[in-house]
Structure 1
Amino acid sequence: MTTRERILNSIQANQPSLLPLPEQFTFTSSFPDLTKQFSDSLAFVGGMAVVVPDHKTIEAHLKEHYPGMTSVASTCPELAHLADRGLDVADPHELASLNLTIIEGPLAVAENAAIWVDERQLPHRVVPMITQYLAIIIRQSTIVPNMHDAYKKLKVNETGFGTFISGPSKTADIEQSLVIGAHGARSLIVYVLP
C-alpha cells in the first residue's frame, strides 16, 4: 500500500457522523433602530443617508448638492421633472454620459446598508454602475435587519436580474489607497422616506 492510499484510507475510516442540515438557517439581529443602523452602516461604507419627510425635501436636497447638474435621469415618478434625459435607449452605451440617476429601492438591509434593486427599477442593468452620482429612495418600512431577512423577502423568479448596492464604488490597492468611484458611482445618497 502506498503512502497516498494509507492517507486516503485513514481519512475515509475517520469520517465524522453525518448530521441533519438545519431546516431553517438564519441569524437573528436585534437592532433597536433599523433606520439608524442602516444610516451608520451606509456612512461606514462611504455613502450618506438622509431621512426626509417627502419628495419635495428630496428635490431640495438634490438641487443643493448637485446645482445645475445636467444629464440627470430618474425612474421615480415624483421626481421625473428633474430629469433632462431618459433611460429608454436601445444601446446601454448611450448612457455613458449619465451624471446623476435617481432610482427607488424596494428593500434595504440595516446590517450592511445594502439596497436591492432589480429590473423593475432599472431599464438597463448598467445604470447604477455607469452613472457618476447615484441617489436611491427607500422607505423605512422596507429596512430589514440582515441579509437572511432580505433573502426571505426576495422573489428573484418574479423580478429577474437584481443586485444589492451598498455605498459608492470602492477599490483599494496593496498600498492601501482607497479610491471611491473607480468602477461605478462616485457617491451614493440614500433618501429614507417614512
Structure 2
Amino acid sequence: MIPHTHSKQAVMDRLRGHDVKGPELPIVDSSRLTTYDNPMDTFIESLQSVGGQAHVIDRIEQVHQILSEIPVFADAERIASLAPDYVPGNVDASLVTDPHHLESLDWVIATGEFGVAENGSIWVDGKTLPHRVMLFIAQYSAIIVPKAKILHNMHEGYAALGTPEPGFGIFISGPSKTADIEQSLVLGAHGCRKLQVFLV
C-alpha cells in the first residue's frame, strides 16, 4: 500500500527523480579577462568608489589604533569582534541564541577570505559568522583581509571558491547603499553605514 503524501511533496519527489541535463557552461578565454598591474591599488580605488575605506597595515595592532581614531568607534558601546587578536570586543555573538538581540550592535569586526580588485568586493565565509545577520544589522563594519589575497576579477574569485559547501557566504562591496530615490546615492540606507577594510 502506498503511503499517503501531500501533493506538493509528491511533485517534489517526482522532480528530484529526474536527471535534467543543463547546457554546458561557456569556456572563458582567460586572455580576455581584465587584469591590473597592481590589484591592491585597484581594489582600494574600487572600494572607495562604492563608499568603503581601505587601510594597508603592517602590524595587527594598527587595526585597533586606526579604528580608535574614528569617533563612532571610540564612542561605540557594543562591539562584536570575530577577530579578537586584532580588535577586542565586548559582545560575544557565539553566546547569543536569538539574532534579534544583535539589533543594537554598533560595530562588527569580521574577516574576509579574499578581495576582488575589479569591484572592491570581499568574500566572507559564513562559517566565520555565529549569525549571518551580524554583517547587515550593525551600524558599522570592519573587515580584515590578507593583502596577499587580492584577486584581479570575479572569474578568479569564483575559481578560488571552487564548489562551495552548502551554507552561507557573501561578497561584500562597500556599505549598504541605494539609489532608488531620484537616482541619488544614499549610503547606509538598509544596513551598515560605513565599511572599513584592513589589508594585512
TM-score tier, shorter chain, comes to 0.7 to 0.9
In the other structure, the counterpart of 1:144 is: 151
User: Identity of aligned pairs, percent?
Assistant: 44
Distance 2:115 2:182 in 1: 33
- Structure with bigger gyration radius: 1
The aligned runs of 1:23-38 (5 Å cut-off) are: 23-24=27-28, 26=30, 27-38=32-43
Distance 1:110 1:53 in 2: 20
In the other structure, the counterpart of 2:169 is: 162
Distance 1:112 1:132 in 2: 23
Q: Alpha-carbon deviations, 1:95-137, whole Å to 9, x = none?
A: 0000011111011100101101122221111111101000000
Note if 1:191 corresponds to 2:198: yes
Contact 2:122 2:171 in 1 (8 A): yes
**Which amino acid letter does the alignment assign opposite residue 96 of structure 1?**
E
Contact 1:106 1:117 in 2 (8 A): yes
Q: Give SS of 1:77's match.
A: coil
Contact 1:118 1:159 in 2 (8 A): no
Distance 1:90 1:148 in 2: 37
In the other structure, the counterpart of 2:101 is: 94
The structural deviation recorded for 1:159 is 6.5
Contact 1:73 1:100 in 2 (8 A): yes
The structural deviation recorded for 1:178 is 2.1
In the other structure, the counterpart of 2:126 is: 119
Aligned length: 173
Root mean square deviation, CA, Å:
1.8
The aligned runs of 1:68-107 (5 Å cut-off) are: 68-79=75-86, 82-88=88-94, 89-107=96-114
Determine which of 59, 78, 94 is the counterpart of 1:54: 59
Q: Alpha-carbon deviations, 1:42-64, whole Å to 9, x = none?
A: 01001001111121111100111
Gap runs ≥5 in structure 1: 1-19
CA gap of 1:68–1:156, structure 2 versus 1, over 3 A, is farther
Distance 1:164 1:55 in 2: 24
The two structures have a TM-score, normalised by structure 2, of 0.81
The two structures have a TM-score, normalised by structure 1, of 0.83
Distance 1:22 1:75 in 2: 38
**Which amino acid letter does the alignment assign opposite residue 151 of structure 2?**
V
Q: Deviating runs (4+, > 6 A) in structure 1?
A: none
Q: Give SS of 1:78's match.
A: coil
CA gap of 1:21–1:158, structure 2 versus 1, over 3 A, is closer
